[in-house]
């Protein structure tokens, strides 16, 4: 929070008798032009309503670089007053470091919060029971598949019931079309996406459905974790998913933006934004009639059940060391408005956390997102804990070794466990 003093200068030049006048500036850290554009009207509203100047600081766009820059600034004590975070996984670690101001009382008293989806509210609660972030947007993820390719090949488009069903379907796709049958993001180059867009889809339906115990430890040695890595191994060993692109830079480009539109990859995990940005009207390589030819499956569980993954999408928080925490919290509530949610939905493709958005005329225009918004009512999520960022990195390393065929499922699990223990200490893992 910057403060500019004008009263002293007034007294010297004009002989004024007024007291000091302070013009305050709130600094907001954001990244990516789409996110900055989405916040434009909100910034103007904050300035008008709170009587402050808002300075938007643009940090590096890639999530990893953005988070690194943000953590450096916060650690040095000169971080912004408000900032977004790339993923839910970063929240618990930043709470542990003392960087986030609790907003539990303010957000619970805020009129707009009562109509947020329950899954958004639950995702926002940290292990200590406090809420530190505005959970205004949700990332809703499922499996997206090419209905047109399956229909042409005479392959069922019915919802797979189990992991085995899903793998059998992937094998049938490869046998009848020659295309890759299924992609779960993996590898070091994909970064946290190997966890957010891949691993977590499967773990929630495994024999280890949560990887945080009641006492906050990380349960990474369970049988379900190994079983998840075995799904990756099966896909890789049977050549059912592309491997080489995942070992290079920007591993999402070839499979998501080239192979899937061309029908050379038939099914992949993805989120609500994919209908707009990956393959829809904002794509550089759009699929014609995308909502007609691209369908969705929920992620089946190992032995049954269906799972729609929900994450907080770039949640906003207040810097605990802000010069005016209370003012920053008021600005945060403005960021949580339906207007801001719809603006982000239109530009980013994530889903508003408020049920009230369904009645908003501007949101109704986003026809690709309206049915997914309703699906958020049944969203499933992983409970968070300090160290989730390290787990995500460990999953990326473990799946990278699988891609290179250096280990089996047990070996991949050992890479994950060893990395987390080395980074966080043995006591962090159950």
Looking at the DSSP bridge assignments, the partners of residue 352 are: 137
- Would you say residue 198 lies in a domain? yes
Length of the chain: 430
| 212/87 same-domain check | no
| 149/13 same-domain check | no
| 47/177 same-domain check | no
| 251/341 same-domain check | no
Q: What does the alpha-carbon distance between residue 186 and residue 251 come to, in Å, rounded to a whole number?
A: 9
Neighbours of 205 (CB within 10 A): 23
- Would you say residue 376 lies in a domain? no
- Please give the structure tokens belonging to residue 46: 């904050």
Indicate whether 29 pLDDT > 90.
yes
| 351/272 same-domain check | no
Give tens-digit pLDDT for 212-243: 998 889 999 999 999 999 999 999 999 999 99
Q: What does the alpha-carbon distance between residue 34 and residue 38 come to, in Å, rounded to a whole number?
A: 6
Indicate whether 10 pLDDT > 70.
no
* Residue 410: half-sphere exposure toward Cβ, Cα within 13 Å: 0
Secondary structure (3-state) at 381: coil
- Would you say residue 243 lies in a domain? yes
pLDDT at 19: 40
Give tens-digit pLDDT for 76-116: 999 999 999 887 778 888 998 999 999 999 999 999 999 99
- Would you say residue 378 lies in a domain? no
Number of domains making up the chain: 2
| 180/251 same-domain check | yes
**Please, are residues 405 and 235 in contact by the beta-carbon 8 Å criterion?**
no
- Would you say residue 375 lies in a domain? no
CA 411-217-414 angle, 5° bins: 5
| 169/252 same-domain check | yes
| 147/277 same-domain check | yes
Give tens-digit pLDDT for 373-401: 988 887 888 888 888 889 999 999 999 99
CATH code of the domain in which 149 resides: 3.40.190.10
Range of the domain at 231: 140-308+384-428
| 58/100 same-domain check | yes
| 7/129 same-domain check | yes
The whole-number average pLDDT for the span 132-156 is: 96
| 168/266 same-domain check | yes
- Would you say residue 153 lies in a domain? yes
Output the average pLDDT for the chain: 91
| 252/225 same-domain check | yes
The 3-state secondary structure of 45-72, one letter per residue:
HHHHHHCCEEEEEECCCCHHHHHHHHHH
Q: Which residues contact 169 (CB under 8 A, 6 or more apart)?
A: 155, 156, 160, 181, 182, 267
pLDDT at 8: 36
């Amino acid at each position: 929070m910057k403060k500019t003093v004008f009263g002293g200068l007034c007294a010297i030049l004009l002989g004024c008798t007024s007291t000091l006048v302070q013009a305050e500036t709130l600094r907001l850290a954001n990244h990516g032009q789409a996110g900055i554009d989405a916040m434009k009207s909100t910034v103007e509203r904050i300035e008008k309503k709170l009587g402050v100047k808002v300075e938007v600081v643009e940090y590096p766009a890639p999530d990893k670089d953005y988070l690194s820059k943000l953590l450096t600034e916060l650690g040095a004590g000169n971080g912004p007053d408000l900032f977004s975070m790339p993923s839910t996984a970063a929240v618990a670690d930043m709470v542990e470091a003392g960087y986030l101001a609790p907003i539990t009382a303010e957000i619970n008293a805020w009129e707009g919060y009562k109509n947020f989806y329950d899954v958004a509210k639950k995702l926002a609660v940290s292990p200590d029971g406090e809420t530190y972030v505005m959970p205004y947007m949700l990332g809703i993820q499922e499996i997206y598949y090419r209905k047109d390719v399956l229909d042409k090949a005479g392959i069922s488009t019915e919802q797979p019931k189990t992991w085995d069903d899903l793998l059998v379907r992937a094998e049938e796709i490869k046998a009848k079309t020659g295309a890759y049958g299924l992609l779960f993001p993996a590898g070091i180059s994909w970064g946290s996406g190997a966890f957010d867009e891949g691993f977590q889809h499967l773990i929630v339906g495994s024999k280890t459905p949560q990887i945080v115990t009641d006492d906050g430890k990380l349960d990474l040695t369970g049988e379900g974790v190994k079983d998840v890595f075995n799904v990756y191994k099966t896909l890789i060993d049977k050549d059912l998913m592309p491997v080489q692109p995942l070992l290079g830079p920007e591993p999402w480009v070839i499979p998501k933006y080239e192979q899937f539109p061309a029908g050379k990859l038939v099914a992949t995990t993805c989120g609500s934004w994919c209908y707009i940005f990956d393959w829809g009207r904002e794509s550089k390589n759009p699929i014609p009639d995308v909502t007609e030819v691209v369908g969705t499956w929920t992620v089946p569980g190992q032995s049954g059940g269906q799972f729609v993954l929900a994450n907080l999408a770039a949640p906003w928080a207040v810097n605990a060391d802000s010069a005016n925490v209370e003012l920053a919290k008021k600005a945060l509530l403005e960021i949580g408005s339906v207007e801001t949610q719809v603006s982000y939905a239109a530009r980013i493709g994530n889903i508003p956390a408020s049920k009230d958005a369904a009645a908003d005329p501007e949101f109704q225009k986003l026809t690709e997102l309206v049915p997914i918004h309703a699906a958020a009512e049944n969203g499933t999520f992983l409970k968070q804990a300090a160290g989730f960022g390290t787990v995500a990195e460990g999953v990326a390393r473990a799946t990278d070794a699988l891609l290179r065929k250096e280990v089996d499922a047990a070996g991949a699990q050992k890479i994950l466990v060893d990395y987390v223990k080395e980074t966080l200490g043995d006591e962090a893992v159950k």
